[in-house]
Structure 1
Amino acid sequence: MKIVLAPDSYKNSLTAKQVAESMQKGLEKVLPEAEYVQVPMADGGEGTVQSLVDAKKGQILTETVTDPLGKETQAHYGLIDDGKVAVIEMAEASGIQYINKTTANPYITTTYGTGELIKAAIAHGARTIIIGLGGSATNDGGAGMAQALGAQLLDKDQQQLLYGGEDLINLDRIDTSKMLPELAETKIVIASDVTSPLTGVFGASYVFGKQKGADEHMIKVLDRALTHYSEVIKRDLGRDVAKIEGAGAAGGLGAGLLAFTNATIHSGVEIVVEYTELKEKLKGADYVFTGEGQIDFQTKFGKTPFGVAQATKSVDPKIKVIGIAGSVGDKISELYPTGIDAIFSCVPGVEDLNTAIADTDKNLQQVCENIGRLIR
Structure 2
Amino acid sequence: MNILLAPDKFRGSLTATKACQAMTEGIREAYPEAHIVALPLSDGGEGFLETLVEATQGTYHEVSCHDPLMRPITARWGESGDGTTAFIEMATASGLALLQPEEYQASQTTTYGTGELMRAAMVSGIKKLVLGIGGSATTDGGIGMAQALGWNFCDSDGRTMPPVGASLPSIHSIHPPEQPAYAGVEIVVASDVTAPLFGPEGAAFVYSPQKGAGTQEVENLDAGLQHLAGVVSRTSVGISSLENKPGAGAAGGLGFGLMAFCGAHLRPGAELVMELVGLDLLLKKAELILTGEGKLDTQSLQGKLIGRLCDKAKPRNIPVLALCGTLAAPPTELRKLGLSYATSILTGPVDLPTALRTAYERLREASFWAIHWYVTQKK
Which bracket does the TM-score occupy, shorter chain normalised? over 0.9
Closer, same or farther: CA 179–164 of 1 in aligned 2, 3 Å: farther
Structure 1 residue 332: Cα displacement? 4.1
Closer, same or farther: CA 136–325 of 1 in aligned 2, 3 Å: same
1:209-288 equivalences in 2 (<5 Å): 209-235=208-234, 236-240=236-240, 241-288=242-289
1:183-202 equivalences in 2 (<5 Å): 183-202=182-201
Structure 1 residue 276: Cα displacement? 0.8
Q: Percent identity?
A: 38
Mapped to 2, the partners of 1:311 and 1:7 lie a distance apart of 14
Mapped to 2, the partners of 1:98 and 1:372 lie a distance apart of 37
Q: What's the CA shift string for 1:285-323, capped at 9, x where partnerless?
A: 210000012212221133322222122224x0x210000
Aligned residues of 1:186 and 1:262 also touching (Cα < 8 A): no
Structure 1 residue 199: Cα displacement? 1.9
Closer, same or farther: CA 71–31 of 1 in aligned 2, 3 Å: same
Mapped to 2, the partners of 1:223 and 1:365 lie a distance apart of 44
Mapped to 2, the partners of 1:303 and 1:35 lie a distance apart of 27
Mapped to 2, the partners of 1:15 and 1:107 lie a distance apart of 30
Structure 1 residue 100: Cα displacement? 4.5
Mapped to 2, the partners of 1:175 and 1:42 lie a distance apart of 35
Structure 1 residue 37: Cα displacement? 1.3
Residue number in structure 2 paired with 1:300: 301
Q: Which moved more, 1:43-52 or 1:155-164?
A: 155-164
Amino acid at match of 1:349: G
Closer, same or farther: CA 129–360 of 1 in aligned 2, 3 Å: same
Q: What's the CA shift string for 1:185-218, capped at 9, x where partnerless?
A: 1111111121211122222122222222222222
Aligned residues of 1:151 and 1:179 also touching (Cα < 8 A): no
Q: How many residues align?
A: 373
Do residues 47 (structure 1) and 51 (structure 2) align?
A: no
Residue number in structure 2 paired with 1:313: 314
1:1-376 equivalences in 2 (<5 Å): 1-100=1-100, 102-181=102-181, 183-235=182-234, 236-240=236-240, 241-314=242-315, 316=316, 318-376=317-375
Mapped to 2, the partners of 1:70 and 1:328 lie a distance apart of 38
Amino acid at match of 1:370: W
Q: Which moved more, 1:275-284 or 1:354-363?
A: 354-363
Closer, same or farther: CA 277–225 of 1 in aligned 2, 3 Å: same
Unaligned 5+ runs, structure 2: none
Q: What's the CA shift string for 1:254-286, capped at 9, x where partnerless?
A: 110000112111111001110111111011321
Q: Which moved more, 1:133-142 or 1:265-274?
A: 133-142
Unaligned 5+ runs, structure 1: none
Aligned residues of 2:110 and 2:163 also touching (Cα < 8 A): yes
Mapped to 1, the partners of 2:331 and 2:280 lie a distance apart of 25
TM-score norm. by structure 1 comes to 0.93
Structure 1 residue 25: Cα displacement? 2.2
Aligned residues of 1:152 and 1:174 also touching (Cα < 8 A): yes
Aligned residues of 1:93 and 1:113 also touching (Cα < 8 A): yes
Q: What's the CA shift string for 1:3-44, capped at 9, x where partnerless?
A: 111111222322212211221222223423332211111111
Q: What's the CA shift string for 1:104-129, capped at 9, x where partnerless?
A: 33332111111001111112333222
Closer, same or farther: CA 363–166 of 1 in aligned 2, 3 Å: closer
Q: Which moved more, 1:100-109 or 1:318-327?
A: 100-109
Amino acid at match of 2:247: G
Mapped to 2, the partners of 1:89 and 1:165 lie a distance apart of 21
Mapped to 2, the partners of 1:209 and 1:326 lie a distance apart of 26
- 1:209 is paired with a residue whose SS is helix
Mapped to 2, the partners of 1:218 and 1:359 lie a distance apart of 38
Structure 1 residue 159: Cα displacement? 2.2
Closer, same or farther: CA 30–330 of 1 in aligned 2, 3 Å: closer
Mapped to 1, the partners of 2:169 and 2:325 lie a distance apart of 45
Closer, same or farther: CA 5–98 of 1 in aligned 2, 3 Å: closer
Mapped to 1, the partners of 2:331 and 2:81 lie a distance apart of 37
Structure 1 residue 55: Cα displacement? 2.1
Mapped to 2, the partners of 1:100 and 1:2 lie a distance apart of 43
Closer, same or farther: CA 372–223 of 1 in aligned 2, 3 Å: closer
Closer, same or farther: CA 13–211 of 1 in aligned 2, 3 Å: closer
